[in-house]
Every structure is written in structure tokens, then in C-alpha cells.
Amino acid sequence: MGASLMIVEDDDRVRGALRLAMEDEGYDVAEAEEAETALEHLRDHGVPDVMIVDLMLGEMDGFTCIREVRRDHDVPIIVVSARDDTHDVVAALEAGADDYVTKPFEIKEITARMRALRRRARLAGAQDEPQSESPEEVVLDADPQAPLLLSPDGGTVRRGDEELHLTITEFRVLCELAASPGRVLSRTALLERIWDRGFFGDERIVDVHVRRLRTKIEQDPSDPRIVVTVRGLGYRLDAQR
């Protein structure tokens, strides 16, 4: 059996075309016409390896569906939508989507982005693999009351005794910045390293994920001290000692 995929799309033609193409790619595909049906399927059958979600659904729209999934799961999510307005793209990413593709689209573009997301998921899921020794931790904030620790190999971020819930993409952004502490990484560099070269050439996706990351790791997200913006250049990680 191949990797599992859930398609949430209310257009029968689009959903059917995606299903046939993804099954040809080796995916075990489940499909839902409504968000409520998709969420019920996740509760009854478990979380798939990847999800494709449209925004314009029925009573519950795609934004709400993504937020509901993100309450408990880190499954990679690609939005496929005819809505290409900047507000919609940003809102979908803010809700927790990892990538955004506008209709009409080429199947090869969808499959390429899915492969990239699954590679990132495997990297971020390293904590599920047996470790021969304790993974090295990076101190992001040495606050004696609640230090912030990143374990790139272990796939975790902890504030004191609490493990923080980061999405796959947020974790990868943090790891890339932590691998070059004190060095500015441009948005283009982050796109190429995390999303794969040329798959999503819009820098908004970087800004949105950095903003979400800050809400989880910064003491004051409105005044970030760990992941800082270098105006006109990009982002830099400044460990707090």
C-alpha cells in the first residue's frame, strides 16, 4: 500500500481527476465532498500522510477545516483553490496550510509539492526513529525558569517542561535558521531550502510561517528577540543567552 492521501473537494470533476492521478502515483486515496465528512474520516480511520483541501466547500469552509485538523495533527496540507487573492493565500497559510496551489493546475505540480512536503515530514518526524544516543539540543533561550530548547534530530521544541506544538513547516524554518545562528537567511534562501527550488516563488509563504512560529516560541511575538527580521534582507536567529 502506498502513502495515504485525503482529498477534500466539492467539485466532483476536480476531485475525480485528482483521485485518478494520485492513484496512478501510488497513493491510497480517500475523498470527501464536505469538510465535516473529512474530519469524521480522520477520527474514524486515522490521519493520512498528506491532505489536499479546497477552500470553497459547504457549510464548513476550507479555512475552518484546516484549523480543525491543526488542533491535533501535523499532517502536511496543500490548499488547491481557484481563489488567488493575496488575502486568501495568507489566510490559508495562517490557518495552518503548508502550501497553496491555484486552479487550474498541472498534476505534476501537485505531485512535486506533495513529494517535497513528505520529505519535510520525514525530517521533522525523526523523533519517531530509534536514537543511538541523546540528540544534541540547541539552546534558543537560556531563560533559567523556562529555557527554550530545539532538538533538530529529535524533532522537538521545548519551553521548560512543555513541548511546543509546531507544524512541520514551522519546525523546518526554525531548524534552517538555527543551523546558521547569527546569519541572515533571505526569504529566497528559505524557499529554496524548505519548499524546494521553484515550487512556490511567493515570499509571502515564508513571512506567514515565520509569523506563526513567533507566536509559539517568542515571549513577546510583537517584539521578537529570537527570530528577528533584518529589513530588506531576511531573517536571523539570535539565541538568547
Same domain, 158 and 197: yes
Domain that holds residue 40: 4-124
Same domain, 53 and 29: yes
Same domain, 10 and 65: yes
Q: Note the pLDDT of residue 128.
A: 46
Same domain, 112 and 138: no
DSSP string, 65-84: HHHHHHTT----EEEEES--
Same domain, 195 and 108: no
Q: Note the pLDDT of residue 158.
A: 93
Same domain, 110 and 155: no
Same domain, 67 and 160: no
User: Which residue among 89, 104, 124 closes a domain?
Assistant: 124
Same domain, 118 and 138: no
Same domain, 116 and 177: no
CATH number for the domain spanning 31: value is 3.40.50.2300
User: Which residue among 76, 96, 124 closes a domain?
Assistant: 124
Cβ contact 14:53 at 8 Å: no
Identify the burial level of 130 via C-beta atoms within 10 angstroms of its C-beta, where 0-12 means exposed, 13-18 middle and 19 or more buried: exposed
User: Which residue among 91, 124, 157 closes a domain?
Assistant: 124
Identify the burial level of 153 via C-beta atoms within 10 angstroms of its C-beta, where 0-12 means exposed, 13-18 middle and 19 or more buried: middle
Cell numbers that stand for 195 in this block: 519548499
Same domain, 92 and 151: no
Cell numbers that stand for 112 in this block: 512535486
Same domain, 98 and 147: no
Q: Note the pLDDT of residue 124.
A: 56
pLDDT in tens, the chain (241 residues): 578 999 999 999 999 999 999 999 899 999 999 999 999 999 999 999 999 999 999 899 999 999 999 988 888 899 999 887 878 888 898 888 888 888 888 888 888 888 777 776 665 554 444 444 445 789 999 998 899 999 988 888 999 999 998 887 888 899 999 999 999 999 988 888 876 644 445 677 888 889 989 999 999 999 999 999 999 999 999 988 7
What domain count does the chain have?
2
Q: Which of 112, 125, 105, 197 is nearest to 167 (CA)?
A: 125
CATH number for the domain spanning 169: value is 1.10.10.10
Q: Tell me, what amino acid is at 198? A: G
Same domain, 102 and 201: no
